[in-house]
Amino acid sequence: MRKSLFGIVALLVLVLISNLASAQRENEDLIRVYRWLNTVDNNYVTLADGEFQEGQLLQWKYKEKTLLFYAYKTPGPDRVAVYRWTNPVTKDQTSIAEDEVSDSDMMQKGYTLKSLQFYAPIRRAENHVAVYRWYRAKTKDWVTFQEYGDTDKLWDKGYKMKTFQYYGIMRNEYEQ
């Protein structure tokens, strides 16, 4: 009886440790994704944590750092690669999911310097939030916004053409 009770307790401890280790690995694979506003060009940029040093962004006149969501650092099932493109003429930077817009179309629009940012979920889950791209023709600026954001503010600033891109991960209810 004692041996079977000890065996059951040992098995439960192993299962708990395994689940904790699995959750820890997933948390290590998550990266914060922020939106910044460049006050000189009046353009928004979406950046994964660590793409640029925060001091450098501040020196380049970026402000209003806003946590949008979390994404993955590595590829996996039901994830799409998201790339940052830069237009040197309009000084716009935009985040485009793989196969959302072809590379040749992006280059025709004047975008260059394609660089991988993160991997985003493509399926809705309990803690996922839809992420949209909005466009303002006047300044040729794209902005990334999650579904619960203040979209009236974007509309008033001239952003139109709302397009679904992918899902972001919300870690808890306080991040909304």
49: three-class secondary structure by DSSP: coil
Number of domains in the chain: 1
Provide the residue-wise pLDDT of the chain in tens; the chain has 176 residues: 666 655 665 555 555 555 443 343 457 899 999 999 888 877 888 999 989 888 888 998 899 898 999 999 999 999 999 999 998 888 888 999 998 899 999 999 899 999 999 999 999 988 899 999 888 888 778 888 887 766 677 778 788 888 899 999 987 644 44
- Please answer whether residues 40 and 12 qualify as being in contact, where contact means their C-beta atoms are separated by less than 8 angstroms: no
Range of the domain at 58: 2-175
CA atoms within 13 Å, Cβ hemisphere of 126: 3
- The dihedral sign for the CA sequence 152, 165, 115, 160: negative
CB-CB contact of 136 with 116 (8 Å): no
